[in-house]
Amino acid sequence: RGMLDETLVIWGGEFGRTPMAQGDGRDHHIKGFSIWMAGGGVRGGIAHGATDELGYMAVEDVVSVHDLHATMLHLLGIDHTKLTFKFLGRDFRLTDVDGEVVKDLLA
């Protein structure tokens, strides 16, 4: 019906879990985790990036949080370089100065 063509779906969290058990479980982990994206201009059927053999550290096609935000905004039709907010009299970008659209994720 085409609804997914105009709807961006993102599922994930702000961190993963360490690959090794610690006491009662696994701890928060920011160096390697997964996010699922579909529709809204996302290229389907791919896995982007990879971790080391332990699943501890992202080592291939690493995407920063700023890159993810830039890509999300791009897919929503917003230029991330122009989206700013003022704080203490200075303009800041949500994607900071190093956020880039991850073109490999685009359909």
Separation of alpha carbons 97 and 107, rounded Å = 25
pLDDT of 54 strictly over 80 = yes
3-state secondary structure the chain: CCHHHHCEEEECCCCEECCCCECCECCEECCCCCCEEEECCECCCCCCCEECCCCCCEEECCCCHHHHHHHHHHHCCCCCCCCEEEECCEEEECCCCCCCCCHHHEC
pLDDT of residue 67: 95
Q: Taking residues 2-28, what's their average pLDDT?
A: 83
Instruction: Say what the pLDDT of residue 75 is.
Output: 97
Residue 46 exposure: Cα atoms within 13 Å on the Cβ side: 14
Report residue 56 as tokens. 């501890």
Between 23-27, 49-53, 67-71, the lowest mean confidence (pLDDT) is in 23-27
Where do the structural domains in the chain lie, given as residue ranges?
3-105
| pLDDT beyond 80 at 26 | no
Residue 107 pLDDT grade (very low, low, confident, very high; cuts 50, 70, 90):
very high
Look at residue 30 in the predicted model and tell me its pLDDT. 79
Instruction: Quote the pLDDT of residue 2.
Output: 86
